[in-house]
Structure 1
Amino acid sequence: MAPFKEIKEKPVKIDKWDTGALKNALDDGAKKVLIDIHGYKESHRLMDGRLFICTIAIGFALFALVWDYLYPFPLSRNVLMTCALSYFFLMGILTLYLSYIEKGIFLVALEQDRAMMEPDNEWKLSSSLRKYDDTYHLTMIFVDGKTKEERSATVSRRVDNFFDENGVFCFDLYKPVIDRLKQDLSNEKKKD
């Protein structure tokens, strides 16, 4: 059998003027550090909540479609009106969910206890990069599994610290920033 070869990843290259692409590349880099390098498990609870609300809304829309097919318009008027109002009500709930529960969190990583005796610690990452701005803000939130105590730390850096002049993402410059943020929160945990 051939010895294991390390697979080299293609460097991420983006348009430096596209703030959405910049933010996504930096978010993906932070995910890679916690999930691939530190070995944490990704939790999809927040996204599942969003999908659940959307599924119910689509269910109302499909029910209205089928009902209108079986009982053409004059007969289906009340059902169509109820389903349409329910759909828009659920879209309002979805907006509130995104604004007050998800709050821009793009990763929830679970740090499992090695002995599997304690509840998992949570690491939440959220970020922002405004259009036409060059400062990337990353917030890391640590939630202790036992006490449910929450601590957070934020780092703000210019995006040109992590991309070269050709738009290639320099992961080796970005990883220490994530590791230091994580280490600062871990050190606070040990002090308590």
Structure 2
Amino acid sequence: MGKEDLKTQQWKNIEEKPVKIDKWDTAALKNALDDGAKKVMLDKFGFKESHSLMDGRLFICTIAVGFAMFALIWDYFNPFPESRPVLIICVLSYFFLMGVLTVYTTYKEKGIFLVALDKDRAGVDPDNRWELSSILKKYDDKYTLSMNFIDGTSRKSRSGKITKSVAEFFDENGTLCIDRYEPEVRMLQNRIATDKKE
């Protein structure tokens, strides 16, 4: 076994370790379940992850930080009060872009944690798109996983969701039981895929 094979095997062993979290931490519960659903969609179904939503957020943040850096550099070479008009423009631009970012995350991302592409095997038609989002309110045990399918050709969408208690997927030690969670994700995906074919 070569060095690369050994590294790959070690990495797989690390990833296959069961996820253990503090079962009273709502954010940790949600993240563990989100990661489990992501793993099922990417590893079991073979979809490819798209980072377009995250790239949009990073683009907005980069421009905002660019304005802040420009203000800093301008003020260094042209000390206050000479730099006052430039500082005002840069500060206002930064806060405007933070508003744009808030609108983007609220109305565009909508809590989506995974965009997976079902590639057309022939490479002719556009990719089908699967979007996964979830909700787990603080001090609540009900986890809702929503899945949205967008057909690459017709642009029609179908969606579905499941709501279950997190206690169904974690044992008393806070370990995620992927063997109980994976069938739920698969069933939801299959239901939406079957509706799509019909």
Shift of 1:147: 0.2
In the alignment, structure 1 segments of 5+ residues that lack a partner are none
Q: Counterpart of 1:168?
A: 175
Deviation digits for residues 28-80 of structure 1 (CA, Å, limit 9, x no counterpart) = 00000011111110000000000000000000000000000000011000100
Partner of 1:93: 100
In the other structure, the counterpart of 1:84 is 91
TM-score, normalisation: structure 2: 0.93
Distance, in Å, in 2 between the alignment partners of 1:164 and 1:128 is 20
Q: Which amino acid aligns with 2:165?
A: R
> Which amino acid in structure 2 is aligned with residue 147 of structure 1?
S
Mapped to 1, the partners of 2:131 and 2:169 lie a distance apart of 21
Q: Distance in 1 between matches of 2:123 and 2:34?
A: 29
Give structure 2 stretches of 5+ with no counterpart.
none
Verify: 1:26 aligned to 2:56, yes or no: no
> Match for residue 54 of structure 1?
61
Query: Number of aligned pairs?
Result: 191
Residue 103, structure 1, aligned to residue 110, structure 2: yes
- In 1: Cα distance, 2:70 partner to 2:121 partner: 48
- Code of the aligned partner of 1:168: T
Q: Percent identity?
A: 62
* TM superposition score normalised by structure 1: 0.96
Matched, 1:13 2:20: yes
Q: Distance in 1 between matches of 2:45 and 2:193?
A: 13
The alignment status of 1:35 with 2:42, answered yes or no, reads yes
Amino acid at match of 2:104: Y
